[in-house]
């Protein structure tokens, strides 16, 4: 009964639900929650569920990487602060899904709040509760239950308090006395994995994110997406391939505004469709940095714009 209730809600209904919940989600997870919904869109899950030939769907949508949410139920949301509460949130969702009782409300946002109410503090678990319910809707109860629900203890920046994480994302590197001299270009920090002390690289003022990433000569060939140059996957650097999309957790104001070409390509890829000048999803090859930024790299890329029905008219942006 509960899963039937969830399946009544399409992507637009979930968009409205997240929009309703955002003011009550702690700032540390406000952007992260929205980014997760872009990383794992319902339309992609529906395309996978509707086919008997996954290889053909993969080819048609040009999917690369780990795009199946069912394969990463317990790990897809690692970049949410609320990820640390995943075990009790998952248990609450399973208990609700197994119950024969009718939903307490027909409003999806109310049901999300009900799940979050089983785990405290509510403002830190609202985001992960919404993510959990959407995950259940996409993968079904059997796959949802398959994993242990156990997650690693927070590390790196994410081990700090929520307010300190927010403060770290707002930080901008001080250029010191050297920055006052002519000819010395400012350098800033791009954090791409808040779990790792070394999950960052340097970007020179007015440099594209992919260019700065490529200058990171460490070996990333064994990472989830096996990059050759730096941590951000990039094949073309002209917004043609879609491999370099990222979510912006912090420092979005330090990135250049979206120009027409990037906006058009992101809509065609199906990553985001918004009039915001500095959205939460960017193509790193088009985003120029003028300060620190904290990003998260999705586990896949592809062309799902037509599947999502994106048109020239942009959807209203979600509040920050």
pLDDT tens by residue, 82-136: 999 999 999 999 999 999 888 888 899 999 999 999 998 999 999 999 999 999 9
- Please give the residue range of the domain that contains residue 24: 2-148
Q: Is the distance from CB of 38 to CB of 69 less than 8 angstroms?
A: no
Spatial separation of the C-alpha atoms in residues 98 and 165, rounded to whole Å:
36
Burial (CB count within 10 angstroms: exposed 0-12, middle 13-18, buried 19+), residue 163: exposed
pLDDT at 176: 77
From first to last of its 320 residues, the chain has per-residue pLDDT tens of 898 999 999 999 999 999 999 999 999 999 999 999 999 999 999 999 999 999 999 999 999 999 999 999 999 999 999 999 999 999 999 999 999 888 888 899 999 999 999 998 999 999 999 999 999 999 999 999 999 999 999 999 999 999 999 999 999 998 876 665 544 589 999 999 999 999 999 999 999 999 999 999 999 998 888 888 999 999 998 999 999 999 999 999 999 999 999 999 999 999 999 999 999 999 999 999 999 999 999 999 999 998 888 754 334 444 44
Spatial separation of the C-alpha atoms in residues 30 and 11, rounded to whole Å:
18
- Non-local (6+) Cβ contacts of 48 within 8 A are 54, 57, 67, 68
User: Do residues 71 and 192 both lie within one domain?
Assistant: no
Spatial separation of the C-alpha atoms in residues 17 and 11, rounded to whole Å:
10
User: Do residues 179 and 293 both lie within one domain?
Assistant: yes
User: Do residues 140 and 43 both lie within one domain?
Assistant: yes
Give the burial string for 166-200 (b: 16+ CB within 10 Å, else e).
bebbeeeeeeeeeeeeeeeebebbbbbbbeeeeeb
Q: How many domains does the chain have?
A: 2
Would 72 be classed as within a structural domain?
A: yes
Beta strands in the chain (DSSP E): 64-65, 187-191, 200-204, 207-208, 245-250, 281-283, 288-289, 293-296, 300-301
- Structure tokens of 46? 């529906």
pLDDT at 315: 41
Task: Write the DSSP symbol of residue 176.
Answer: T
pLDDT at 54: 96
pLDDT at 101: 84
Would 52 be classed as within a structural domain?
A: yes
User: Do residues 283 and 171 both lie within one domain?
Assistant: yes
- The dihedral over CA atoms of 35, 38, 40, 42, expressed in degrees to the nearest 10, equals 140
Q: Which of 98, 114, 116 is nearest to 106 (CA)?
A: 114
User: Do residues 126 and 236 both lie within one domain?
Assistant: no
User: Do residues 167 and 304 both lie within one domain?
Assistant: yes
pLDDT at 316: 41
Q: Which of 294, 248, 237, 252 is nearest to 271 (CA)?
A: 248
User: Do residues 179 and 292 both lie within one domain?
Assistant: yes
Spatial separation of the C-alpha atoms in residues 205 and 213, rounded to whole Å:
13
User: Do residues 131 and 225 both lie within one domain?
Assistant: no
- Non-local (6+) Cβ contacts of 62 within 8 A are 242, 302, 303
Would 155 be classed as within a structural domain?
A: no
Strands 300-301 and 281-283: unpaired
Q: Is the distance from CB of 276 to CB of 198 less than 8 angstroms?
A: no
Spatial separation of the C-alpha atoms in residues 301 and 61, rounded to whole Å:
9
User: Do residues 220 and 282 both lie within one domain?
Assistant: yes
């Amino acid at each position: 009964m509960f899963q039937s209730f969830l399946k009544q809600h399409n992507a637009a209904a979930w968009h409205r639900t997240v929009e309703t919940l955002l003011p009550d989600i702690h700032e540390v997870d406000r952007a992260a929650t929205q980014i997760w919904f872009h990383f794992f869109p319902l339309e992609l899950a529906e395309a996978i569920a509707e086919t008997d030939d996954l290889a053909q769907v993969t080819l048609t949508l040009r999917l690369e990487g780990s795009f199946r949410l069912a394969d990463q139920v317990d790990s897809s949301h690692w970049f949410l602060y609320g990820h640390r509460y995943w075990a009790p949130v998952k248990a609450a969702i399973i208990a609700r899904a197994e119950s024969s009782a009718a939903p307490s409300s027909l409003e999806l946002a109310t049901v999300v709040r009900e799940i979050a109410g089983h785990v405290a503090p509510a403002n830190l678990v609202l985001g992960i509760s919404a993510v959990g319910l959407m995950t259940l809707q996409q993968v079904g109860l059997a796959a949802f239950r398959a994993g242990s629900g156990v997650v690693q203890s927070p590390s790196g920046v994410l081990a700090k308090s929520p307010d300190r994480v927010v403060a770290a994302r707002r930080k901008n590197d001080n250029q010191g006395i050297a920055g006052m001299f002519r000819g010395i270009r400012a350098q800033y920090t791009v954090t791409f994995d808040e779990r790792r002390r070394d999950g960052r690289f340097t970007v020179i003022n007015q440099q594209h994110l992919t260019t700065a990433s490529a200058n990171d000569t460490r070996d990333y060939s064994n990472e989830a997406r096996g990059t050759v140059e730096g941590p951000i996957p990039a094949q073309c650097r002209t917004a043609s391939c879609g491999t370099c999309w990222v979510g912006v957790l912090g420092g979005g104001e330090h990135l250049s505004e979206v120009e027409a070409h990037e906006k058009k390509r992101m809509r065609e890829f199906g990553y985001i469709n918004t009039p915001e000048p500095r959205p939460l999803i960017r193509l790193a090859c088009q985003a120029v940095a003028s300060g620190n930024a904290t990003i998260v790299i999705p586990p896949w890329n592809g062309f799902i714009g037509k599947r999502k029905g994106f048109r020239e008219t942009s959807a209203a942006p979600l509040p920050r």
